């Protein structure tokens, strides 16, 4: 138990110190929570089962700053509110649901002028949900919310200099086809002790007439990176599937998230997830033929030797 009677250099106990403490003497940043909500949607393919596309919910800002720009839904944290509570509240306000998988992604605040109003530090959360459970709505400072198909495509790699630099394009296209946003991403691989880290920088693509609000392209980049990494060793992808699904549906979701540009090996994929699923007696018609449905194995635990 700590001793509350210990005095500091000014001869004050903790009680006396707190009684004289004036928080207003110090500049304090505001805090927001941002929610990167991903889902999977069908892409119709004539005569075949639909392909899958990774989608991200964006809102069109209805007020300054960045009025008219699309950005990540979120809001300020109330003074008496926990971070996770604020995230749940924003999730409910923006999607009308309150039960999805989400995890803290990253804190964004290295750019001190990232918000022109004041010093703002944002805690971003990554959320995943089956699209059938979501009804997107705009929050208080937004005029419109809609889904965007999001992709990160490899362009080139340069190892000629001191540092390796990989180049990617990140594109976001709205469901109505009216908004197309694109960035070129330069990933520099920098030594940090014995660890090599990726340091991204961004430029709008020449054809892109729109840009994301604030530094939200940074949040999108890190969310895509996290999602792609975690799908390899966790059950995170199953948050995007309905309760009953076919193995083909599961494979297409993995392909959409990994964005490999080609299908995964059917045999290798089924070998990879065989312990993660449980066969049921239900069937679903796909490509004109019945297919067995599976459910997620809730007793599955990751083993690095798998």
pLDDT at residue 161 tops 60 = yes
Task: Print the domain residue range for 284.
Answer: 236-296
pLDDT given for residue 8 in this prediction: 93
pLDDT at residue 205 tops 70 = yes
> Do 118 and 219 have their domain in common?
yes
Instruction: Name residues whose C-beta falls within 8 Å of residue 238's C-beta, 6 or more positions apart in sequence.
Output: 250, 276, 296
pLDDT at residue 11 tops 90 = yes
pLDDT given for residue 24 in this prediction: 87
pLDDT at residue 143 tops 80 = no
CA geometry: angle at 146 spanning 104 and 176, to 5°?
140
Confirm whether 50 is domain-assigned.
yes
> Do 176 and 266 have their domain in common?
no
pLDDT given for residue 55 in this prediction: 95
The tens digit of pLDDT for each residue in 16-42 reads: 999 999 988 888 899 999 999 999 998
Confirm whether 114 is domain-assigned.
yes
pLDDT given for residue 46 in this prediction: 77
> Do 214 and 289 have their domain in common?
no
- Number of domains within the chain: 2
Distance of alpha carbon 94 from alpha carbon 149, whole angstroms: 18
Confirm whether 19 is domain-assigned.
no
Give the other-Cβ count within 10 Å of 207's Cβ. Answer: 8
Long-range contacts of 217-222 (CB under 8 A, 24+ apart): 217/170, 217/183, 218/108, 219/34, 219/36, 219/72, 219/105, 219/106, 219/108, 219/122, 219/124, 220/36, 220/56, 220/72, 220/150, 220/170, 220/172, 221/152, 221/170, 221/185, 222/105, 222/106, 222/124
> Do 93 and 132 have their domain in common?
yes
Task: Report the CATH number that the domain containing residue 283 is assigned in CATH.
Answer: 1.10.10.10
Confidence of residue 188 (pLDDT cuts 50, 70, 90): very high
Confirm whether 240 is domain-assigned.
yes
> Do 223 and 245 have their domain in common?
no
Confirm whether 301 is domain-assigned.
no
pLDDT at residue 250 tops 90 = yes
> Do 84 and 137 have their domain in common?
yes
pLDDT at residue 305 tops 60 = no
pLDDT at residue 139 tops 70 = no
Confirm whether 274 is domain-assigned.
yes
pLDDT given for residue 44 in this prediction: 80
Across all residues in the chain, what is the average pLDDT?
Answer: 90
pLDDT given for residue 141 in this prediction: 64
pLDDT given for residue 306 in this prediction: 53
> Do 53 and 115 have their domain in common?
yes
> Do 253 and 221 have their domain in common?
no
> Do 125 and 248 have their domain in common?
no
Confirm whether 162 is domain-assigned.
no
Confirm whether 3 is domain-assigned.
no
> Do 116 and 36 have their domain in common?
yes
> Do 220 and 120 have their domain in common?
yes
Task: Report the CATH number that the domain containing residue 125 is assigned in CATH.
Answer: 3.90.79.10
Reference 54, options 129, 142, 155; nearest CA is 129
pLDDT at residue 90 tops 60 = yes
> Do 222 and 240 have their domain in common?
no
């Amino acid at each position: 138990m700590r001793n509350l009677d210990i005095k500091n250099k000014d001869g004050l106990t903790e009680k006396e110190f707190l009684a004289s403490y004036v928080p207003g003497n110090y500049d304090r940043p505001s805090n927001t929570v941002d929610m990167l909500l991903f889902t999977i949607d069908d892409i119709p393919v004539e005569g075949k089962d639909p392909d899958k596309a990774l989608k991200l919910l964006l809102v069109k800002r209805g007020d300054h700053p960045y009025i008219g720009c699309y950005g990540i839904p979120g809001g300020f944290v109330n003074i008496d509110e926990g971070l996770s509570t604020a995230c749940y509240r924003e999730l409910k306000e923006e999607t009308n649901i309150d039960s999805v998988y989400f995890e803290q992604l990253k804190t964004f605040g290295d750019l001190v002028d990232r918000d022109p109003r004041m010093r703002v530090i944002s805690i971003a959360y990554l959320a995943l949900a089956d699209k059938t459970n979501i009804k997107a709505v705009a929050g208080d400072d937004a005029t419109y919310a809609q889904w965007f198909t999001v992709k990160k495509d490899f362009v080139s790699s340069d190892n000629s200099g001191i540092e390796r630099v990989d180049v990617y394009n990140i594109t976001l296209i709205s469901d109505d086809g009216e908004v197309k946003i694109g960035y070129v991403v330069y990933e520099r691989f920098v030594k940090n002790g014995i660890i090599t880290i990726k340091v991204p920088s961004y430029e709008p693509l020449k054809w892109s007439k729109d840009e994301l609000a604030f530094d939200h392209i940074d949040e999108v980049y890190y969310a895509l990176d996290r999602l792609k990494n975690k799908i390899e060793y966790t059950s995170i992808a199953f948050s995007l599937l309905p309760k009953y699904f076919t193995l083909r549906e599961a494979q297409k979701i993995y392909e959409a998230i990994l964005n490999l540009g080609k299908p995964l090996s059917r045999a290798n994929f089924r070998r990879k997830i065989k312990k993660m699923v449980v066969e049921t007696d239900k069937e679903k018609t796909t490509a004109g033929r019945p297919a067995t449905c599976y459910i997620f194995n809730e007793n599955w635990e990751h083993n690095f030797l798998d």
